[in-house]
Amino acid sequence: MIKSIKQMVRNIKKISKGKPTVGAGGSKETYIHIGLEGFDSLFEQGYGIPTGYAVLVEGGPGSGKTIFGLAAIDGMCKQGKKCFYMSFEEPEVRLIEHMKNFKWPVDEYIKKGKLRITRFDALDVSRSVEALLSAAKKELLIDVDPVLFPADFKPDFIVVDSLTSISSAFSGQESRFRIYIEQLFRYLEKNGITTFLIREVSTPTHIGSTYKEEGEAVSFLSDGIIVIYNVIYNKGDRGGAIEILKMRGVNFKKRLVSFKIMDKKGMVVYPKTVLKKGTFTLT
Ligand SMILES: Nc1ncnc2c1ncn2[C@@H]1O[C@H](COP(=O)(O)OP(=O)(O)OP(=O)(O)O)[C@@H](O)[C@H]1O
Ligand SMILES: [Mg+2]
């Protein structure tokens, strides 16, 4: 444990020597498209996700949050960006398998150093925060590497899957989770890293709202929110729907559209298939 804390401190020292990349803090001059055509066209012309933004990806269980995160990784790797998938849930092999099912060249991305997928234990994060807090005599953690980022890999894009798993490791210590989250967002902003932070929400009424638990801090700090829903149509069939709920300073289409997850294709978003009021229920 002591060793990992020392490593964390070393990492942050190394990182803080480097200048923040262009667009740090969400410069509105530079936009990124995640490379998922139907989704990208939900932005008005000339807009996209501002570089350096921390975006929440919220949705119910099994709604497609992980697949959306992996689709974004594929699209970003294709654009030559360096990507880091931080999994606190599924093991690396399973995520690689998902990508292979969708015919995304994951082995090539990893071999070329474009992609790193790492599974973390959320309890390690909470234990480290606890140790650091007692070492700092309960003061705020200033300039501390928040989640064991690798020192030898500087990503342009990160997916954290999921904040929900991390928060459950802080159960009963909500204030510590809040400190951790603030550190995480500060770190991402300082380093100009665009990030998708996946969060499971139990019911759609909680989406994007400032509700009790960890959500309060998280929704306030995030620059954008993308929501993925499980849908039941009145005729009884199920489907998926996605929308951009919030993206600070960006012009986007405020519409809930359908998507499908298909073998060999991945996630296909239909930007023109808007869900009609009264024909469906969000779950
Ligand atoms: N290869 C595939 N072909 C077709 N559908 C798939 C494929 N892989 C996954 N799916 C579908 O995608 C759905 C969403 O999966 P995903 O793991 O992204 O959800 P999630 O929101 O991350 O779930 P969890 O809450 O468990 O983390 C699955 O329930 C499954 O129906
Ligand atoms: Mg998942």
Which domain CATH number covers 220? 3.40.50.300
Question: Which residue range(s) make up the domain with 81?
Answer: 2-227
CA distances from 22 to 18, 113, 193, 194 (A): 12, 21, 10, 12
Given a cut of 50, whether residue 276 has pLDDT beyond it is yes
> Is residue 281 in a domain?
no
Q: What is the pLDDT of residue 21?
A: 35
Given a cut of 70, whether residue 102 has pLDDT beyond it is yes
Nearest CA to ligand 1 atom 16: 64
> Is residue 151 in a domain?
yes
Question: What are 153's two structure tokens?
Answer: 């890999």
> Is residue 265 in a domain?
no
Q: What is the pLDDT of residue 25?
A: 43
Q: Is 200 in the pocket of ligand 1 (CB under 6 A)?
A: yes
Task: For 75-85, write each residue's pLDDT tens digit.
Answer: 999 999 999 99
Task: State which of 57, 58, 63, 104 you would mutate to test the pocket of ligand 1, scoring each by most atoms of that ligand within 8 A of its C-beta.
Answer: 63
> Is residue 59 in a domain?
yes
Nearest CA to ligand 1 atom 11: 261
Is 57 within 8 Å of 49 (Cβ atoms)? no
* pTM, full prediction: 0.87
> Is residue 149 in a domain?
yes
Instruction: Match 């210590």 to its residue by tokens.
Output: 173
Q: What is the pLDDT of residue 277?
A: 85
**Strand 280-282 to strand 224-233: parallel, antiparallel, or no bridges (unpaired)?**
antiparallel
* Distance between CA atoms of residues 175 and 50, nearest Å: 30
Output the CA 266–ligand 2 centroid distance in Å: 15
* Distance between CA atoms of residues 101 and 120, nearest Å: 23
Output the CA 158–ligand 2 centroid distance in Å: 15
Q: Is 26 in the pocket of ligand 1 (CB under 6 A)?
A: no
> Is residue 262 in a domain?
no
Q: What is the pLDDT of residue 20?
A: 32
Task: For 142-194, write each residue's pLDDT tens digit.
Answer: 555 655 678 889 999 999 999 999 999 988 888 888 888 888 888 888 889 99
| Number of domains composing the chain | 1
Output the CA 66–ligand 1 centroid distance in Å: 7
Full DSSP string of the chain:
-HHHHHHHHHHHHHHHHSPPPTTTTT-TT-EE--S-HHHHTTBPTT--EETT-EEEEEE-TTSSHHHHHHHHHHHHHHTT--EEEEESSS-HHHHHHHHHHTT--HHHHHHTTSEEEEE--HHHHHHHHHHHHHHTTT----S--TT---TT---SEEEEE-HHHHHHTTTT-HHHHHHHHHHHHHHHHHTT-EEEEEEE-SSGGGTTS--TTTHHHHHHH-SEEEEEEEEEETTS-EEEEEEEEEETT--B----EEEEEETTTEEEEEEEEEPPTTSEEE-
Q: What is the pLDDT of residue 202?
A: 77
Q: What is the pLDDT of residue 174?
A: 82
Looking at per-residue pLDDT, the higher value among 26 and 63 belongs to: 63
> Is residue 219 in a domain?
yes
> Is residue 56 in a domain?
yes
Q: What is the pLDDT of residue 274?
A: 93
* Distance between CA atoms of residues 115 and 107, nearest Å: 9
Atom of ligand 1 at shortest range from CA of 200: 25
Q: What is the pLDDT of residue 159?
A: 97
